[in-house]
Structure 1
Amino acid sequence: MNVFFKLGWFFKERKKQYIVGLLALMLVAILQLIPPKVIGYTIDEIGLGTLTTNSLLMWVGIILLSSLLIYGLRYFWRLMIFGSSNYMAMTLRKKLFLHFSKMSPSFYQQRRIGDLMAHATNDVSAVQQTAGGGVLTLFDSITTGTFVILAMAITIDWRLTLIALIPMPLVAISSTYYGKLLHERFHIAQSAFSDLNDKTQESITGIKVIKTFGQQNEDIDDFKRLSSEVVSKNMKVARVDSLFDPTISLIIGISFFLSLGFGAKFIVEGSMTIGDLVAFNTYLGLLVWPMLAFGMLFNIMERGSASYDRIESILSIPVEIEDKPNAINERPDGNLIFNVNKFTFPGDERPSLKNVNFELNRGETLGIVGKTGSGKTAILKLLLREFEGYEGEIIFGGRRIDDYRKMRLLESIGYVPQDHFLFSSSVYNNIAFTNPDADVNQVEYAARLAHIHEDILRFTDGYKTVVGERGVSLSGGQKQRISIARALLSNPELLILDDSLSAVDAKTEEAILEALKEERSDKTTIITSHRLSAIQHAHIIIVMHEGSIVEKGTHEELMELKGRYFEMYNLQQLEQLVEKGGEVK
């Protein structure tokens, strides 16, 4: 019953619906007592020879009326109880989705997407069944069972009732034992399903890589192995689940045996009529459902309890980055000051940033270069407030960035990441994602700035072309430029291009940078790149090495230093010369 206490918050929220539904269910349990008694009366009248046409029509009418009322009430309680359980599923999914949207990147680094999907699907469905079928079986087994036993004891024979109930405690004992086994095994089965879900999602996402390296057979074998584990774990659940009905049916069978044996004895003694015995056994037949429901209840509860525990474990993980109680509810703009003395990613021992300081006036462009792992990405993640816990401060528009509401901060930043993500929708919808209210002219203007407009017009359906999930139907350069157009459409105060021009040719890169320079003369831009041609026009360039700034200045100033930047620039110029077929003298 513990799971019902856990779901108490929801039952309070939907108490009116549940009360109405349970009252309807109680009336059904009472009305179900009428037909067996009517049958008993009819049989006794037949035996005594007193049954008339009028009395038969009366008994038939009573049964018909009670059946119609039961029909209407059953429809109504299903609407109330199962309707509420659907609302429960919606509520839990909303909670999970909202929680997922608040979590930082470290949360997703530690958890698999397939497992998170399993929480929002299978686990929610199991809890939904508890809030619907679980409530039904609990209340119905109690009310129907209670009313039937009272009817048997009061209207027929209390002695025979006690005799028939002798085996019933075995139902509680066996169901409790099976329930404990079911809880353990179902939790394991859900974890196995999460593994399979994650494998499926990963294989579909990486299908191009799998095919490129000819690893289809190995991947299929791995999938079969995980699928077999899911079947094996669920079979263990099914073996326990399948014990409920046979056990309860056996116990009910013993009750029937006892009632028939002792009932026959009472008839011979003259303390019961044949009609009473028929009615009693009909009532006893009505007890089959409450007993089966009792077994089902343990099944449903244990499944729901295991799944709700999994959901609670996810929801209990604290959000790492929360807004301050008095956070500023406005978009920042103005100068950017970055002063971070030390920052270490969670789980790392070595600092990712050490004494990184720069100031960027509004309208200026900052270029960041350095080898992989030098700290470029760490700077951007701190600006986006994906991580906190650093020593120092980051000031945007005269205030620390953590003084703003995170949503308002991000609204003022247009971010184009290295791994470009496009939705399985039209090109138009992908660009308009950051500003759904934008009109066609605004979307096309952003596309022109990103130099993707002409490419889009050559697509089969132009801007209406569906790009496929994650943009699989586009080239790398096209995905990059659509991502840039999407960021530009929001007209951000701060535009961050994280190595976002790596897949475009030099001529297109130059055209895009020139367009950005003209369009964003009063806005701030940060560009990280391995290709120095993308940042040599920047007002400030910083060279990162092992988490620290080793050089800072304009392109001309850094070239005069003849340091790391100078070496990188000359090396890239040499590479370009060789690619063009030039000779090195």
Structure 2
Amino acid sequence: MQVFWQLRWYFRQQWRRYGGAIGILILVSLFELLPPRAIGWIVDDVVAGEMSLTVMFGWLGGLVAIWFFVYFLRIIWRVWLFGAAAEMGTVLRNRLYKHFSFHPPVFFERHKTGDLMARSTNDVNAVVMTAGEGVLTAADSLITGIAVLFVMTTMLSWELTLLALAPMPLMAIAVFFLGRQLHSRFSASQAAFSDLMDKTQESLNGVRMIRAFGLEKRQQADFAAVTDFVGDKNLGVARVDAKFDPVIQLAIGMSFFLSIAGGAYMVHHDRLSLGDLTAFTLYQGLMIWPMLAMAWLFNILERGSAAWNRLKQLFDQHPEIVSGEQQLTKQRQPLQVAISQFYWPEQKQPALADVSFTLESGKMLGLAGPIGSGKSTLLALLLRQQELTDGTIHYGDVALREANLDQWRSRFAVVSQTPFLFSRSIADNIALGRPEASMAQIRAAAEAACIDSDIMQFPEGYQTLVGEKGITLSGGQKQRIAIARALLLDAEILILDDALSAVDGKTEHRILTNLRQQRGKTVIVIAHRLTALEEADMILVLQQGRVAEQGTHSSLIKEENWYAEMYRYQKLEQAIEEA
């Protein structure tokens, strides 16, 4: 029953539905007590020859009316109860999605996507079942069971009632131990399902690479091993489930045997009438559902408890990065960075050290350096996806830690090296950040990103579906669509994280020229192809997390260091390719 206490926050929100449903359940239980008692009276009167055919049909008509009325009441409480439970699924999934949205990237490094999807589907469904079927079985079994026991004990025979209940303690003990087994096995089953979701997602995402390397058979064997493992775990749950029904049926069979045997003895000795024994057996029939429900309730609660514990593990993980309260002004401010040191978790060497610069509003900053030099780390700190503890980043006079996080991130438009496109039309993908944008605005952004002519060559133009993750487009087309999406946002600061790597040099030059023509926009460009940084107002060359060189393109060329050497190498490589 602990899971009900854990879900009390939702029961308080929906107390009208749950309270109304339980109230009707009580009313239904009271009405269901009438037919067995009435049938007992009819049997006694018929045996005694004191009931006419007209009176008997009158009684039967009344019973039919009661049954129709109970049927109508059952419809009402089912709509209220299961409607509230279904809404809980919506509440939990929205809460999970919002919870995921506020977490930094490190959260998704700890939890695989397949695991999060499994918890958002299977575990939520198990909790919803607890809030629906669980509440039903708990309330209905208790209400019906108590009411029927009261009538059987006070109006018929308490001795026969005790005899009929004799097998119940044995059933309760068996169900208790089976419930404990079910909890552990269901938790293992859900964890195995998460692994299956992870494997499925990885296989589908990497299907091109799998085919390119001819790994289909190996992947099929690996996937078969995972599915077999999940099947074994589910079979373990099914084995425990299979033990519930025999235990319950055996207890019910013993209960009926004892009540019929004891009732016959009491009727033979005139301690009970035949009508009372008939009513008793009918009431005992009503007790079958509470007995079944109690066992089924243990099953549901153990599943719901295991599922809620898995969801609670996610809800208990609060975002490491908390928004500040300082509101940002609409006036654009310079960005001042002074990083003393920044370490990634479990790394002994700093990812960044002694990095300081000031980026004025409307200027272009270029970041260059070897792979692993700290360029992407610097962007993560600027976006506050990672927390800087040793150093400061200021936007004007406001420290980044004190700024409102939503306002700060809304000032950025980021284009990564491998942009993500949704399985929607090209127009929808470009207008992702501004769904209300007109087609003219979408095309203007596409023209600035040098992708409009490519789009118009498609048969359906901007309404062309790009496929999942943009699978129908080339790498350069995906990058330029992502740049158009960022330009349409018209954000104050545009970040291009090696976002021009898949386009040719001529197109790269045109895009950068278009960006320079947008006055007032601050641009941060990470590039391995250094021609993209020729027009930058300031270039930082990072090596091993430190600023090795700093200046403009022309000044760095003269210094004969890494930047100059790499620039000449790339120029030579380009000339060879053109030749």
Q: 1:52, CA displacement in angstroms?
A: 1.3
Match of 1:541 in 2: 539
Match of 2:135 in 1: 135
The residue correspondences of 1:247-258 to structure 2 (distance < 5 A) are 247-258=247-258
- 2:42 is aligned with 1:35: no
- Cα RMSD over matched residues? 1.2
Summarize the Cα distance change of 1:408–1:183 in structure 2 as closer, same or farther, 3 Å threshold: same
- 2:347 is aligned with 1:358: no
The secondary structure found in structure 1 opposite 2:500 is coil
Match of 1:345 in 2: 344
Note the alpha carbon deviations across 1:91-148, whole angstroms, 9 max, x for none. Answer: 1112111110000111111110000011111001001111110011111111111111
Match of 2:9 in 1: 9
| Aligned AA (2:443) | E
Q: 1:287, CA displacement in angstroms?
A: 0.9
Match of 2:564 in 1: 566
Q: Which deviates the most, 129-138 or 206-215?
A: 206-215
Q: 1:57, CA displacement in angstroms?
A: 1.9
Unaligned runs of 5+ in 1: none
- 2:320 is aligned with 1:323: no
The secondary structure found in structure 1 opposite 2:432 is helix
Q: Which deviates the most, 132-141 or 34-43?
A: 34-43
Distance 1:234 1:51 in 2: 58
The secondary structure found in structure 1 opposite 2:431 is helix
Match of 2:312 in 1: 312
Unaligned runs of 5+ in 2: none
Match of 1:424 in 2: 423
The residue correspondences of 1:106-505 to structure 2 (distance < 5 A) are 106-324=106-324, 326-328=325-327, 333-505=332-504
Contact 1:360-1:366 at 8 Å conserved across structures: yes
| Aligned AA (1:73) | L
Match of 2:19 in 1: 19
Q: 1:330, CA displacement in angstroms?
A: 5.0
Q: 1:45, CA displacement in angstroms?
A: 2.1
Contact 2:326-2:398 at 8 Å conserved across structures: no
Distance 1:73 1:531 in 2: 73
| Aligned AA (2:20) | V
The secondary structure found in structure 1 opposite 2:347 is coil
Contact 1:331-1:411 at 8 Å conserved across structures: no
Contact 1:331-1:412 at 8 Å conserved across structures: no
Distance 2:345 2:331 in 1: 27
Q: 1:442, CA displacement in angstroms?
A: 0.8
- TM-score normalised by length of structure 2: 0.98
Summarize the Cα distance change of 1:331–1:176 in structure 2 as closer, same or farther, 3 Å threshold: farther
Q: 1:479, CA displacement in angstroms?
A: 0.2
Summarize the Cα distance change of 1:329–1:124 in structure 2 as closer, same or farther, 3 Å threshold: farther
Match of 1:577 in 2: 575
Q: Which deviates the most, 209-218 or 96-105?
A: 209-218
Contact 1:424-1:467 at 8 Å conserved across structures: yes
Contact 1:192-1:229 at 8 Å conserved across structures: yes
Match of 2:85 in 1: 85
The secondary structure found in structure 2 opposite 1:435 is coil
Q: 1:498, CA displacement in angstroms?
A: 0.3
Distance 1:104 1:419 in 2: 19
Contact 2:381-2:388 at 8 Å conserved across structures: no
Q: Which deviates the most, 377-386 or 571-580?
A: 571-580
Match of 2:509 in 1: 510
The secondary structure found in structure 2 opposite 1:415 is strand
Q: 1:460, CA displacement in angstroms?
A: 2.2
Note the alpha carbon deviations across 1:336-362, whole angstroms, 9 max, x for none. Answer: 111111111223221100101111111
Distance 2:330 2:164 in 1: 74
Distance 1:362 1:268 in 2: 102
Contact 1:417-1:499 at 8 Å conserved across structures: yes
The secondary structure found in structure 2 opposite 1:90 is helix
Distance 2:331 2:402 in 1: 10
Contact 2:417-2:500 at 8 Å conserved across structures: no
Summarize the Cα distance change of 1:456–1:535 in structure 2 as closer, same or farther, 3 Å threshold: same
The secondary structure found in structure 2 opposite 1:319 is coil
Contact 1:426-1:466 at 8 Å conserved across structures: yes
Q: 1:329, CA displacement in angstroms?
A: 5.4
Distance 2:459 2:45 in 1: 83
| Aligned AA (2:72) | G
Contact 1:422-1:471 at 8 Å conserved across structures: yes
Q: Which deviates the most, 189-198 or 205-214?
A: 205-214
Distance 1:430 1:70 in 2: 54
Contact 1:331-1:408 at 8 Å conserved across structures: no
Distance 2:259 2:185 in 1: 37
The secondary structure found in structure 2 opposite 1:459 is coil
Distance 1:416 1:490 in 2: 12
Q: 1:382, CA displacement in angstroms?
A: 0.7
| Aligned AA (2:526) | T
| Aligned AA (1:113) | T
Q: How many residues align?
A: 579
Contact 1:332-1:412 at 8 Å conserved across structures: no
The secondary structure found in structure 2 opposite 1:549 is strand
| Aligned AA (2:536) | A
The secondary structure found in structure 2 opposite 1:244 is helix
Summarize the Cα distance change of 1:576–1:23 in structure 2 as closer, same or farther, 3 Å threshold: same
Distance 2:465 2:346 in 1: 40
| Aligned AA (1:525) | V
Distance 1:330 1:33 in 2: 71
Q: Which deviates the most, 121-130 or 267-276?
A: 267-276
Distance 1:13 1:171 in 2: 35
| Aligned AA (2:84) | S
Distance 2:394 2:168 in 1: 72
Q: 1:162, CA displacement in angstroms?
A: 1.3
Contact 2:423-2:469 at 8 Å conserved across structures: yes
Distance 1:329 1:383 in 2: 15
Contact 1:370-1:530 at 8 Å conserved across structures: yes
Distance 1:331 1:388 in 2: 24
Distance 2:408 2:430 in 1: 21
Q: 1:284, CA displacement in angstroms?
A: 0.9
- TM-score normalised by length of structure 1: 0.97
Distance 1:45 1:218 in 2: 78
Distance 2:333 2:20 in 1: 59
Contact 2:102-2:319 at 8 Å conserved across structures: yes
The secondary structure found in structure 2 opposite 1:526 is strand
